[in-house]
Structure 1
Amino acid sequence: MPDPVRYASPPCLAAEIAPDYFDPLATNPEQARDVARWRRAERIRLRAERDALSVVNRQAAGAALAQQLRQVLSDRFDGAAGMVLSAYWPIKGEPDLRGLMAEQHEAGVIIALPVVEVRASPLVFRRWHPGLHMIRGNWNIPVPPPEADRLAPDVALAPVVGWDSAGFRLGYGGGYFDRTLARLAPRPFTIGIGLQAAQLSTIFPQPHDIPLDVILTEAGVQFQREDP
């Protein structure tokens, strides 16, 4: 029986890319394809692991993350009252911080939610408050209605599928968050929100990937960018 065919660079081998092969400027098209295939495979794996969490464990992780985020907002921004915090509406097993959103609103933080108004374009941010009538946006995600105020965030939360110790996030692959950060001026302080178990040794960052300022999990701050 002949030996099974082994392709030169299947996605499962991307994590074994040799240092002299990996090109951080992504000028090597074969490598860029390998990284894209590896990322797709990792998204599937990490989302399956997240979906498999019990309700109890999911709630415990969300509560711990909320407490960690309170601490970051207190330490960094003295509670962030009067500042615009872009949060997110949880989907696909993401940590649920909606209780914290309501709490921060009551504390004087201005809450916004990201909205896809035009596909493949930067996100916009609409104001949210408890009791607001929401509508269905892209992918059926609840979003504030068009008449809600549009805001520029001072702090932006970014749910992550995976993350690495250099501050890079693995998202869902649409590129919306990085595209938005590249356009915002001034750039908001960015906080990646994810699970400790979703850590990767690297995401093999490409030129379009923008590192976050903080990576936060239920175990606390895992990455913090040094102030320039």
Structure 2
Amino acid sequence: MKDAKAALRKEMKARRSALAAAHPQAGEAMASAFEARGNWPSAEVVAGFHPFGSEIDPLPLLMRFHARGYGLALPALVESAEGGQMIFCAYDPIGALVEGPYGIWQPGPDAPEVFPDIILAPLLAFDREGGRLGYGGGFYDRALDYLKAAKRGKDSPLQVWGVAFSAQEVARVPTEPHDQRLDAVLTEQGVIEIRKNP
């Protein structure tokens, strides 16, 4: 399984780099496609991420959520007993960000931790069953475990939406029991609903 994931990661990193170079406005197209649906979710806080490398840019979509009164959050890596934990902190679009581990911009240490209702998650590959291939560090899987436990019993369960170029779709993502599944995928061509197993 690990070999299959490693091989797919290598292939998809190259594919995504080519897609990002060919479609620099894909993030704006994704935001416009989502807005055109006119189906804004019932949620208070939406978490995105600051794009890194060839990731599709979710910030145009986050700004549309912000304009409609949603609270925003970004992931932040903090020290923990395990060496590093990803939490989500409040994000003010006009506030300053700091450079975190791996060179990724994140809210500063004074930003309060929040518990989002929707998380926009980066990825390397996805499938129609909700499979998500991440980068191999397990940060999102552990953070989602933590957040789902925190929201258990609440009226609105946590939703995880992958954000990707449409060409990052594959027939099947190799998954393991700890891998968190997606509820939907947002692309520059529109929203892909995930087939739910009965």
Counterpart-to-counterpart distance in 1, 2:20 and 2:3: 29
Q: After the TM superposition, which segments of 4 or more aligned residues of structure 1 sit over 4 Å from their partners?
A: 119-122, 225-228
Distance 2:146 2:186 in 1: 24
Return the alpha-carbon distance in structure 1 between the equivalents of residues 95 and 41 of structure 2.
26
What SS does structure 1 have at the residue aligned with 2:78? coil
Scaled by the length of structure 1, the TM-score of the pair is 0.75
Is 1:58 aligned to 2:4, yes or no? no
Give SS of 2:145's match. Answer: helix
Could you say which residue in structure 2 is the equivalent of 1:7? none
Q: Take 1:221 and 1:100, find their aligned partners in 2: how far apart are those partners?
A: 13
Report the aligned-residue RMSD: 2.3
Look up the match of 1:21: none
Residue 163 (structure 1) aligns with? 126
How far apart are residue 189 of structure 1 and its match? 0.8
Give matches, 1:1-228, under 5 Å: 35-53=1-19, 55=21, 57-59=23-25, 61-70=26-35, 74-75=38-39, 77=41, 80=43, 83-118=44-79, 121-184=84-147, 185-186=150-151, 187-226=157-196
Structure 2: gaps spanning 5 or more residues: 152-156
Residues 50 and 59, structure 2, Cα contact 8 Å, conserved in 1 = yes
Displacement of 1:75 in angstroms is 2.0
Identify the residue that residue 154 of structure 2 maps to in structure 1.
none
Relative contact order, CA 8 A, sep 6+: which one is greater? Answer: 2
Partners of 1:121 and 1:179 within 8 A in 2: no
Is the Cα contact below 8 Å between 1:169 and 1:212 reproduced in 2? yes
Taking only the aligned residue pairs, the percentage that are identical comes to: 33
Q: Report how many aligned residue pairs link the two structures.
A: 189
Residues 55-107 of structure 1 show CA distances to partners (whole Å, capped at 9, x for unaligned) of: 45231x222211233356x52515x4xx1101110012111122332332232
- For the structure 1 residues 54 and 180, does the alpha-carbon distance in structure 2 shift closer, same or farther, using more than 3 Å as the test? closer
SS at match of 2:191: strand
Give the partner amino acid of 1:37: D
The answer as to whether partners of 2:160 and 2:182 remain within 8 angstroms in 1 is: yes
3-state SS, counterpart of residue 52 of structure 1: helix
d(CA) in 1 for partners of 2:112, 2:36: 28
Q: Which amino acid aligns with 2:169?
A: Q
Superposition TM-score, scaled by structure 2 size: 0.85
What secondary structure, in the 3-state scheme, does the structure 2 residue paired with 1:53 have? helix
**How many angstroms apart in 2 are the aligned matches of 1:193 and 1:54?**
13
Alpha-carbon deviation of 1:227?
A: 10
Extract unaligned runs of 5+ from structure 1: 1-34
